[in-house]
Structure 1
Amino acid sequence: MACIATSQSIDCEMGCQTLENQDSKKLRCLANRLRCYQPPSVNGETENGIDQGINSTNNTRITKPVEARERRAAVLICLFKGTEGELRVILTKRSMNLSSHPGDVALPGGKMEEVDADDSATALREAMEEIGLDPALVEVVANLEPFISQHQLLVVPVVGLLPRIEDFKPLLNEDEVDAIFDAPLEMFLKEDSHRLEEREWRSRKYGCHLFDFKSEQGAFLIGGLTANILIRAATIIYQRSPSFTTHLPDFQQLQNHLCNANA
């Protein structure tokens, strides 16, 4: 498994050229399309290059302005081409020794620090610290609209492509990560392994998306914020909605409703 090179500013028309050494035309074109992706901004305000609003997905996602760094985080959606040509995403299982969400499946990532120039820098630094992913292998192609975590962090998903998975030699930080594995991105649009669990946050009900996944590394349950982010990423990349339906708002939709109600 592996991810691609560092974040670069490239015009949409020139997007495919940075991957010209890659033998996959589909991956090159995906990179080009994702570089053109512009999540619509709600308030359009930025500070030090940091968008301070929640943007829209299928629904309008709005939140109050968030402190530039103290309450901001980023995760890396690292995609590569599988043996059958499918897009796969790198995931981790958090260490059982962590105080926050021990044993949960997560995307590499964490809180923004002062040394980070932007969200991409945060995601790449955290991936290096957690799983030994060299930023030079990762090509950042897009930032998706931010999500709100249960701890009220603003979490920005950063999409990166890994043209040469064979160059990635995982080195796990055992204090933070128990396991690393990969899953097909398209899985997060399919009903086969999906289920919805009713949960409660501050006396309000919401639906938690859960995906059961088995691999050579073991059996994993992918849910919560990670599942929500990957559903959104798959929806954008495959340009279609999930095949499953829900009778409850998910956590992000609940946050949108509360923010809109208080606006």
Structure 2
Amino acid sequence: MSSNNTPGPINLLKFHRPKLRLNEARIPPLSQQSKQCLRNLVSYKPQKSPMRYPRSRCAAVLVALFVGRKGDLYVLLSRRSATLRTYAGDTSLPGGKVDPEDKSIEDTARREAHEEIGLPPDRRKAPLLCVLEPFLASELIVTPVVILILDNTLRPILNTAEVASLFSHPLFAFLTTNPPFPSEPESLEVPYHTSWDFDPTGPNGSNQGFRVHQFLTGREAGGIKPVFGLTAAMLIRVAAIGYAREPDFEVHPPGMPFTQERIAWALLNRKVFRDACEKEGIDLSYARRLVETTGKGRQDGTEAEELRRRNRSKL
């Protein structure tokens, strides 16, 4: 097993937080592309927003990466139990709502992954890479927490009440329209990547549209659903940051609000968020200014708004 002074690909691990015990790492040698991807993720710092979110409406998911046999990065995905009341059977990332005992959003993601798939919350075996900007679900504000599993000998322990099965998918495959698996003859007519737009209208005719992406898993014949919606959006974002490139497809349609504006609008207009903000004493003045300012900028077609939208978020 490698020591702290041993040269080679394993030394990439010194970039991770917290400091790692390299002699405990059990992973294959990393490809050059994977090395750079991990460096980019570790150095990523999302812009801090002045906007506060109600804790009771916050959640986290764990984007657990690991190194495959050829040195490429894969992400763990789960098939939700068919008996769940919501999103039964969907492909998802482990995660859930913030508990009062959680000290950070990272704690939430790790606790949920431990409860759902048995991933140990040991930060030495699965150190933090980065925490991304939050995403908007129907009634939750969800933050992705990205980690790297350093011990490939770990075996899942599934909570079958919540998770039916666990599988993996190449991280890079969320940037391309080419399937990372051999296509079966009967599935050739179904594209690996598809997308479509929802264009709901909010109060005063405000545009609350967004684009939904879907990726096949190659396991559809066995009952595994495609990676879809919020899960797909978060993994596109992780892959784009890690590999420092735009996807082969358009992520965000022109003229639609960026994620921070959609969250601000939800805090102001969706009852579940508005009630939570009122209960927790959250000042919504910044959210109100953001919606008014950016909405006017899009209507006027100003260059400043277009630049701000693209810089703040691609999703």
- CA gap 1:246/1:113 in 2 versus in 1, 3 angstroms: closer
- Structure 2: 5+ residue runs without aligned partners? 1-12, 179-191, 203-207, 266-289, 294-315
Q: Normalization by structure 1: what TM-score?
A: 0.76
Alignment correspondent of 2:261:
256
AA aligned opposite 1:39? P
Verify: 1:207 aligned to 2:211, yes or no: yes
SS for the counterpart of 1:182 is: strand
1:163 pairs with 141, 150, 158, which one?
150
2:38/2:129 contact within 8 Å kept:
yes
| Residue pairs, 1:31-46, within 5 angstroms | 31-43=38-50
Verify: 1:196 aligned to 2:198, yes or no: no
Q: Distance in 1 between matches of 2:42 and 2:114?
A: 23
Alignment correspondent of 2:231:
226
1:205-240 deviations in Å (ceiling 9; x for gaps): 432101111149934311111000000000000000
Alignment correspondent of 1:3:
none
Alignment correspondent of 1:149:
137
Q: Distance in 2 between matches of 1:111 and 1:252?
A: 25
- CA gap 1:107/1:201 in 2 versus in 1, 3 angstroms: farther
- CA gap 1:30/1:200 in 2 versus in 1, 3 angstroms: closer
Q: Distance in 2 between matches of 1:229 and 1:144?
A: 9
SS for the counterpart of 1:165 is: coil
- CA gap 1:202/1:173 in 2 versus in 1, 3 angstroms: farther
Shift of 1:202: 5.7
- CA gap 1:206/1:146 in 2 versus in 1, 3 angstroms: closer
**Which of the pair has the greater relative contact order for Cα pairs under 8 Å at 6+ separation?**
1
- Structure 1: 5+ residue runs without aligned partners? 1-12, 44-52, 54-64
Q: Normalization by structure 2: what TM-score?
A: 0.64
The count of corresponding residues between Structure 1 and Structure 2 is 228
Q: Which has the higher strand share?
A: 1
- CA gap 1:196/1:121 in 2 versus in 1, 3 angstroms: same
1:121-160 deviations in Å (ceiling 9; x for gaps): 1111000100111112321121011111122x12111010
Q: Distance in 2 between matches of 1:34 and 1:246?
A: 19
